[in-house]
Amino acid sequence: MVHRSELESLRREISAITFEILRLCKKRLDIAKRIAMVKSRDGLPIEDLRVEENLRRRVIVFCREKGLHEDFCNALLELLIKESKRVQKEVIEHACDWGRQIK
């Protein structure tokens, strides 16, 4: 029975960490929205491959230092980048629609 208690405790801990990760994802996407507004204002494209590649290199170094599997980290990063681009596109399209309505 002691093992079951330990398992439940570990499950609560992993659940709490999962929600912390999601909270941080929300924070990241909120920043992506702000980036989209700056890009829209300055006429910059959503995608910046140089910035993405720099982040990928830094993530690989981080993974190696922390003993994380690189494939996992790369897959997670690709998901984060993809969602950031989706959110940025949505913000920019909404801003363009709003601008057309004003005219």
CA distance 31 to 94: 17
User: Does residue 57 lie within any of the structural domains?
Assistant: yes
78 assigned to some structural domain:
yes
Q: What is the pTM of this model?
A: 0.85
Give the span between the Cα atoms of 87 and 90, in whole angstroms: 5
Band the pLDDT of 82: cuts 50, 70, 90. very high
Instruction: Provide the CATH number for the domain around residue 82.
Output: 1.20.59.10
Tally the domains of the chain. 1
Residue of higher predicted confidence among 58 and 100: 58
Domain assignment present for 77: yes
In a domain, 79, yes or no: yes
What percent of the chain is modeled with pLDDT above 90? 85
**Alpha carbon distance 15, 38 (integer Å):** 35
1-19 pLDDT, tens digit per residue, is: 567 899 999 999 999 999 9
34-43, 60-69, 91-100: range with lowest mean pLDDT: 91-100
> Is 97 among the domain residues?
yes
Q: Which residues are CB-contacts of 25 (< 8 A; sequence separation ≥ 6)?
A: 80, 83
Identity at 57, one-letter amino acid code = R
